[in-house]
Amino acid sequence: MPTPIDVAAFVWPSYTGDEPRSRMFWPEGIGEWQSVKNFNAVSDYWHRTPLWGYVNEADPYVMQMEIDAAADHGVNVFIYDWYWFDNRPFLEQCLDNGFLKAKNNSRLSFYLMWANHDANNVWNINLSDDYGSTVIWGGAVNRTQFEIICHRVIEKYFSQPNYYKIDGRPVFMIYELGNLLDGLGGAEAARKALDWFRDETVKAGFPGLHLQATAWRKNGTNLSGVDAQGGLSRAQFDALAFDSITHYQFAHFTNMNRPYREILADVQAEWERIDSNYPMPYFPHVSIGWDNNPRFRRFRDYRCQENTPEAFEYALRMAKNYVLAHPKQAPLVTINSWNEWTETSYLEPDSLHGYGYLEDIKRVFGTP
């Protein structure tokens, strides 16, 4: 019998008002649901609402429902966007109070993606059109803060019985490598810090640490309003000695302002480019779409078109074929995302497509 393929969906933990500092961006107290709800009321084309309502995803009873829906449709891993701003965590409530307190969380594994980008006014609808270079909190951290972060992650999350591992090693993904180097003092210093992180993970009783890098095309553009522009040199990247690579969004390497099926030729080429040029495994990534107009008052004429469930299913089959063609690496596919509503790339059911995207996953990958 073939090995089941792990389907891991990114989770953007902003759909809760439980984080006090989030009120500076979303004062209605429902997190970024505020932007979703209000954009739907004024948009002349978007027209969709969440079938489950504007629920608090830091509520364990809500997460019990979502975990069951994910697991029943073949999603068996959540990758939580995890933040550290101003020397403390940000938006941890969705994971801590929602997922980890849900009685059925053993149905899913989870791991962390350290979303170490800068925070700016792009999350504030009143200021986002002119967010410019304003930085509220920087994503780069020094070595002292890095060690605090690593100990927190090891002790609080790696220790969870359902933390996702490859070959017994907890997986930890890092989003912006430029910020990593900026904070730690360059590639050599960053490599030493990562080596220290590996050693601390072993000291905690694990056989090692699996570090995963977010892939970007060098000199990419800032589409989301928080992503950095540019990237590392090949020598800098190699020095960090990551264990694997995946993507967070198709928008990080290709033009999304066109029909979805046209994008997939570039996606296939990008997978092949990484597979041919890097020694570590690449885990294929599938994004559902791109349109971040819900975050802005002025229309941004850059959005993915025709990203129907039928088109998405085709991309999933591409990813499955990639996994089957690489039997020596862990069988993992990453999806953007479980709930990136304000970037219009989500699996959660809505009034437009119902459970269509989730049903795609069930058809392509089955259920455990």
What is the tens place of the pLDDT at every residue in 308-323? Answer: 999 999 999 999 999 9
111 occurs within a structural domain? yes
Q: Quick one: pLDDT at residue 316? A: 98
CATH number of domain containing 301: 3.20.20.80
How far apart CA 212 and CA 224 sit, in angstroms, is 21
Distances (CA, A) of 182 to 81, 116, 124, 137, 314: 20, 11, 26, 14, 39
pLDDT digits (tens, 9 = 90+) for 281-305: 999 999 999 999 999 999 999 999 9
Would you say 202 and 149 are in contact if contact means Cβ atoms under 8 Å apart?
no
Q: Quick one: pLDDT at residue 218? A: 62
254 occurs within a structural domain? yes
139 occurs within a structural domain? yes
Would you say residue 75 has pLDDT above 80? Answer: yes
- Total domain count for the chain? 1
216 occurs within a structural domain? yes
How far apart CA 64 and CA 70 sit, in angstroms, is 10
Helix (H) or strand (E) holding 323: helix 309-324
Q: Quick one: pLDDT at residue 1? A: 45
How far apart CA 207 and CA 205 sit, in angstroms, is 7
What residue spans of 108-231 are helical by DSSP H?
A: 143-153, 177-184, 187-203
Q: What is the mean pLDDT of residues 156-180?
A: 97
The pLDDT confidence band at residue 21, using thresholds 50, 70 and 90, is: very high
Domain span at residue 138 reads 6-365
Residue 15 burial (C-beta neighbours within 10 Å; 0-12, 13-18, 19+): buried
Q: Quick one: pLDDT at residue 228? A: 76
1 occurs within a structural domain? no
Q: Quick one: pLDDT at residue 185? A: 97
Q: Quick one: pLDDT at residue 229? A: 67
- Is the pTM higher than 0.95? yes
Would you say residue 219 has pLDDT above 60? Answer: no
Q: What is the mean pLDDT of residues 207-232?
A: 80
Would you say residue 2 has pLDDT above 70? Answer: no
Q: What is the mean pLDDT of the chain?
A: 95
Token pair for 43: 């948009």
pLDDT digits (tens, 9 = 90+) for 87-116: 999 999 999 999 999 999 999 999 999 999
26 occurs within a structural domain? yes
Would you say 274 and 215 are in contact if contact means Cβ atoms under 8 Å apart?
yes
157 occurs within a structural domain? yes
* Phi, psi for residue 16 in degrees, rounded to 5: -160, 150
